[in-house]
C-alpha cells in the first residue's frame, strides 16, 4: 500500500466490520482502498447492522440470479400467478430497482431500496441498463445484483410509469384484490412508483396495512428519484428494527452508502489519480458544489456574491487582502485545495482568479481545481455519469463542503463523507439570499416528496412533527421535505 495516502497510519479497511472480509480485491479496488482516502467512518456500525448485512449476503447468495430459488420465483412471472399457500419458508422475494433521473437521484433511491430489502428480507436486484456495472462494483459476495438479461420483464422495466396497470396506486384505485378471497392466489409482481410525481394512491406504500399486502408479493419493481428512507422511520412495524440497526438515526446513508456503493475500477482510477495529483498535498481540502437548476433566472454575479459571502463569513476560506499585493513575509506555507464541481466553469474561474490575484489575510495559499465542466446534464451518457460519480466521490474526500440546496449530487458527497455541509440557499426573486448559507444539522439526505397524511385517519398531518428524529430539511423553502437527525 505504499502509494496510498495515510500510509503511515493504521487504517481499518473493513470499516469496523461493515464490509465483509475475503472478497476479491482486484475486481473492486475501491472497496478496500477507499478507507485510505476517506477520514474513516464518522460513526461505527451497530453490531446488529453488521450481522444483518452478513445475513443479507447469505440470502443474496441463496436467492441471486439463476439459483434454484430464483428460477422458481421467476416461474411465477412466466405463469402469471403465484400461490402463496404453496410458498415455503425458503422461498425468495425480490425488490427490483430501476433507474430514474440523474445519478445522484439514482443513488438516493438505490440506497433506500436496499434498506427496504433489509427490512423486508427481500433480495435487491438492479436494472443494469444505465451501465450500472461501469459505475459501481458488485456489492455482494459470490453472487450478482444485476437483473439477468433473460428476466421475463426485462423489456418492460423501463416502461413502468405511474399510469401502468400494474402500479400499486392503480391497483388500489381500481380496488383490485391483490390476493384472492382465500388469500392464497396472488399477482406475482407489482410496480411501485415512488417518483416525486406520485399519486395519492401510491403513497400508502408507507403505511403498515399496505405493507402487509405488498410484502406478500414475490416481485416488486420499484422506481424512485427519492431518498425515501425517512418515511420508513414513521412506519410502526419497521421502527423497532430500525432502532436496532441504526441507534444513531442520522447515519443511515453514511453507513449503507459506504457498504453498498463502491466506484468500479475505472472510476476509482480516475478518482485516485485526480486526488493524488491535486488534493493530497493540501493541508485542508474544501469542496464547493454548485448546482444551478434550470429554472433559476438569477444572474451569475448573484451566485458568485453568495458563494464568496458564504465561504468568507463561515470561515470556510480565508478572506483575501485587497491591499497586500503579494505574500512576501506573510506566507505560512499552509495550503488549501478547493475542489469546485459544477456543470459550468465560470464559478471555478471566478474563484481561481480571486485567489490567484490576491493574497489571503492569513497567508494561506488557496489552489482552486475543477475536474470537468460538462455544460449540461446528459442522461444515459456513460462517460458523463462516470465523471459525475468521480466528482461526487472526490467531494466526499474533502474536509469541509459547501453544497447547493436540494441537490442529490451534493447529498451523495456529504453523506458518504460524513459531513454537515454549508448549504447555499436557493436564490429567490432575483436577489442574493440572506443569509447566503446555513450549516446542515445532519449529514443525511433529504426526502423531497414524502407523503403527508396519517395512515389511520387519512387526514393531512405534519409528518415532520411525529417523531423527534424525523424533521423538515434545512434546504427546502417549503415545508414538506423530511430528513433524519
Which one, 407 or 415, has the nearer CB to ligand GDP?
Answer: 407
Name the site residues for ligand GDP (rule: CB under 6 A): 101-105, 291, 341-343, 372, 374, 377, 384, 387-388, 391, 407-409
**Measured torsion, CA atoms of residues 305, 306, 307, 312, in degrees rounded to the nearest 10:** 90
Is the Cβ of residue 143 or residue 408 nearer to ligand GDP in the bound state?
Answer: 408
CB of 230 to ligand GDP, least distance (A): 17
Closest CB 150 distance from ligand GDP, rounded Å = 30
Residues facing 431 on adjacent strands: 428
Q: Please, what is the minimum distance in Å from the beta carbon of residue 207 to ligand GDP?
A: 27
Report the residue number, 291 or 483, with the smaller CB distance to ligand GDP.
291
Could you tell me the smallest distance in angstroms from the CB atom of residue 271 to ligand GDP?
12
Instruction: Give the shortest CB-49-to-ligand GDP separation in angstroms.
Output: 26
CB of 216 to ligand GDP, least distance (A): 32
Q: In this structure, are residues 77 and 152 in contact, taking their beta carbons and an 8 Å threshold? A: yes
- Residues 391 and 263: beta-carbon distance below 8 Å: no
For ligand GDP, the closer CB: 143 or 341: 341
Partners of 421 in the beta sheet?
none
Q: Kindly tell me which of 104 and 451 has the beta carbon lying closer to ligand GDP.
A: 104
C-beta closer to ligand GDP: residue 143 or 407 = 407
Q: Between 138 and 391, name the residue whose CB sits nearer to ligand GDP.
A: 391
Going by C-alpha positions, the residue among 101, 96, 133 that lies closest to residue 117 is: 96
Our CB check for ligand GDP shows the closer of 242 and 279 to be 279
Give residue for cell 493504521: 10
Minimum separation from the CB atom of position 384 to ligand GDP (A): 6
Tell me how far, at minimum, the Cβ of 192 lies from ligand GDP, in Å.
20
Sheet holding 400-404, edge to edge: 365-369, 335-341, 284-289, 400-404, 422-424, 437-439
Amino acid at each position: 500500500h505504499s502509494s496510498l495516502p495515510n500510509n503511515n497510519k493504521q487504517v481499518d479497511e473493513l470499516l469496523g466490520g461493515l464490509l465483509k472480509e475475503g472478497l476479491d480485491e482486484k475486481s473492486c479496488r475501491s472497496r478496500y482502498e477507499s478507507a485510505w482516502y476517506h477520514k474513516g467512518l464518522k460513526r461505527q456500525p451497530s453490531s446488529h447492522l453488521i450481522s444483518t448485512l452478513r445475513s443479507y449476503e447469505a440470502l443474496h447468495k441463496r436467492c441471486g440470479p439463476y439459483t434454484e430459488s430464483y428460477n422458481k420465483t421467476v416461474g411465477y412471472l412466466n405463469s402469471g400467478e403465484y400461490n402463496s399457500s404453496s410458498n415455503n419458508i425458503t422461498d425468495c422475494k425480490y425488490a427490483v430497482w430501476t433507474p430514474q433521473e440523474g445519478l445522484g437521484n439514482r443513488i438516493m433511491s438505490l440506497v433506500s431500496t436496499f434498506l427496504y430489502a433489509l427490512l423486508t428480507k427481500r433480495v435487491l436486484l438492479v436494472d443494469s441498463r444505465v451501465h450500472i456495472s461501469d459505475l459501481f462494483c458488485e456489492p455482494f459476495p459470490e453472487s450478482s445484483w444485476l437483473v439477468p438479461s433473460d428476466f421475463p420483464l426485462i423489456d418492460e422495466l423501463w416502461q413502468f410509469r405511474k399510469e401502468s396497470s400494474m402500479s400499486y396506486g392503480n391497483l388500489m384505485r381500481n380496488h383490485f384484490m391483490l390476493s384472492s378471497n382465500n388469500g392464497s392466489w396472488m399477482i406475482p409482481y407489482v410496480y411501485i412508483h415512488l417518483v416525486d410525481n406520485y399519486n395519492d394512491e401510491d403513497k400508502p406504500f408507507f403505511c403498515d396495512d399496505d405493507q402487509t399486502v405488498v410484502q406478500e408479493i414475490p416481485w416488486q419493481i420499484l422506481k424512485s428519484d427519492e431518498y425515501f428512507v425517512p418515511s420508513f422511520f414513521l412506519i410502526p412495524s419497521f421502527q423497532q428494527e430500525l432502532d436496532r440497526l441504526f441507534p444513531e438515526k442520522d447515519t443511515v446513508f453514511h453507513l449503507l452508502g459506504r457498504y453498498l456503493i463502491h466506484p468500479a475500477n475505472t472510476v476509482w482510477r480516475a478518482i485516485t489519480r485526480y486526488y493524488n495529483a491535486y488534493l493530497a498535498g493540501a493541508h485542508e481540502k474544501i469542496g464547493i458544489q454548485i448546482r444551478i437548476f434550470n429554472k433559476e433566472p438569477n444572474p451569475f454575479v448573484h451566485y458568485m456574491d453568495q458563494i464568496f459571502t458564504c465561504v468568507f463569513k463561515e470561515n470556510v476560506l480565508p478572506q483575501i487582502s485587497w491591499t497586500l499585493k503579494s505574500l512576501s513575509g506573510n506566507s505560512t506555507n499552509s495550503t488549501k485545495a478547493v475542489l469546485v464541481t459544477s456543470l459550468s466553469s465560470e464559478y471555478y474561474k471566478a474563484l481561481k482568479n480571486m485567489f490567484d490575484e490576491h493574497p489571503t489575510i492569513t497567508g494561506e495559499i488557496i489552489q482552486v481545481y475543477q475536474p470537468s465542466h460538462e455544460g449540461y446534464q446528459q442522461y444515459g451518457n456513460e462517460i458523463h455519469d462516470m465523471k459525475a460519480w468521480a466528482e461526487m466521490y472526490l467531494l466526499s474526500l474533502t474536509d469541509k463542503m459547501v453544497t447547493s440546496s436540494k441537490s442529490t449530487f451534493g447529498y451523495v458527497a456529504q453523506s458518504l463523507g460524513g459531513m454537515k455541509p454549508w448549504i447555499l440557499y436557493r436564490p429567490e426573486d432575483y436577489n442574493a439570499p440572506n443569509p447566503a448559507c446555513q450549516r446542515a444539522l445532519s449529514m443525511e439526505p433529504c426526502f423531497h416528496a414524502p407523503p403527508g397524511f396519517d395512515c389511520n385517519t387519512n387526514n393531512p398531518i405534519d409528518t415532520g412533527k411525529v417523531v423527534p428524529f424525523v424533521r423538515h430539511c434545512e434546504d427546502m423553502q417549503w415545508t414538506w421535505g423530511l430528513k433524519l437527525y
